[in-house]
Structure formats: structure tokens, C-alpha cells
Amino acid sequence: MPELRYHHLGIPTDKPLPAEDYSQKYKLYASGYFQSPYGVEWMKFDPDCALPELVKTVPHVAFVVDDIEAAIAGKEVLIKPNSPAEGVTVAFIVHNGAPIEFLQFDRPESEIWPHESKFKITPSAVSGPLLVRHEGQTPRERSACGWRDRLISHEDAPLSPAAWVHAVDIDGAKVHYHKRSTELYYVLGGSGSVVLDGVEQPVSEGSLVHIPPGVVHGARGRMRVLVVGVPDIADDDYFEAPAQ
């Protein structure tokens, strides 16, 4: 089963909801998600709303997935994949008589539905373990980009670090992209280039590259790069792309 990440709980109601939360396209009100720390969303439907009766009468749980087609494969599909806004695809299935929603984001959610109260990150909201790591004292392995020292990686996931960090000796890096993670490349030594969506950018010691999700990228040359992945550099978020 694809990885599921909780997004929100949608609850039908007959109570009045704020006018600014009304969607003319879908003929419904959706209110509370942006303000709720638990992702609770109240939904009120117009009498002529065309959505399935199950969605209009039974609460649903929504999960973020990386591949919505894989998530609905073999399931009882209630609402086929569709795009309510650019950059996001949604679909509903039925499980044990209850509606389940899947969302696939192709860019950060804060860019699709900007809302300060939901996506604003303050220092007090950032948490994680206190870690001190040294090269030579962490696992070293071959990766898609070369040889990497896993300074903070999957073995630390139970500690919920804010980011994963690998020190990578670039060697035969494959062109790839990520759907979930943003990466930062900081060149520690050597020189070469980073290819970003087909455009080659020369880099050398001291260069920094910010790579958002969805950008096809790779590296050429001989250099050592500190790779920071937010929120991670997990194998399930690695997708190879044709050579550029």
C-alpha cells in the first residue's frame, strides 16, 4: 500500500458556515481546515450539489499520497481523480462503507492554497532532536549520485529531525526528481555543474543550490556536496528521469 499521510477530516453539517468559504464550482461550503491544528473541516452542501450522497452525509478522512493512481488501484472508486486547483489532484474511494479522500500535491500546498494561519512556521513550531554527527562515524554507501555519508538519514526518522543530511561525493549522478522534498546542495569542495530542468549551472566550492519538488536535476563533475533534504531524502521520493 502507498504511504498515507493524514491531511484532514471532513464532517458534513447543516449549520451555517461563513460565506467566504463557499465554492460556487462545487456548490458547497468548506470551513475550518486552515484554522484547525488537527485538520478538521466542516462541510455544508447545497441541495443541488452533484457530489455523491455518501460524501454529503458521512464524514471522510483525507490522506496525502505521492501517486494517486496507485492509491486507488483495485479500490472502489467513488470520485475519479480530478483537479480542484492547479497543482493538486483528488479522488475518493469507499472503504468499509466510508468515503476516503486522497490528495496528490505536485507543488507545495502553501502555494496552492496560501493561508498564513495554516502554513506559517514560527520558531516555536520547529522541533526535533539535538544531534552531533561526524564524518567517518556514520554509514557510507553508494547512491544514485555517488558515494554518500548518511549524517542524518532514515535510521534517524523515529527521532523526527527537521531535515535529512547527506555528504555526497558526486560520481555518475543520475538525473532524477522528488515529489515531496526540497533539497539544498552546498558544494564543500571541487567543481562541476548542476542540471536543473535541462539548464546546466556551473558550481564550485561555496555554491548553494535550492531545488524545489518537481525540478528534474542531476550533477556533473568531481565535487563533494552537502545535501539537505526537507523533510527527508527518502527512497520512496526518488524518481528517475530521462537523461538531459
pLDDT tens digits, one per residue of 67-113: 999 999 999 999 999 999 999 999 999 999 999 999 999 988 888 88
Residue type at position 56: K
Is residue 180 a contact partner of residue 231, using CB atoms and an 8 Å limit? Answer: yes
Q: Please give the torsion angle defined by the CA atoms of residues 158, 159, 165 and 168, in that order, rounded to the nearest 10 degrees.
A: -50
Residue 61 has what pLDDT? Answer: 97
Give the chain's domains with CATH numbers: 5-119 (3.10.180.10), 140-240 (2.60.120.10)
Burial tier of 45 (Cβ tally within 10 Å: 0-12, 13-18, 19+): buried
- Locate 162 and state its grid cell: 527537521
Cα→Cα distances 222→135, 166, 203, 206, 217, Å: 19, 16, 11, 14, 16
Mean pLDDT of 56-76: 96
The whole-angstrom separation of Cα 47 and Cα 55 is 13
User: Model-level pTM?
Assistant: 0.53
Mean pLDDT of 124-136: 74
Nearest to 181 by CA among 131, 242, 235: 235
Residue type at position 135: E
Q: How many CA atoms lie within 13 A of 224 on its CB side?
A: 6
Q: How confident is the model over 203-227, as pLDDT tens digits?
A: 999 999 999 999 999 999 999 999 9
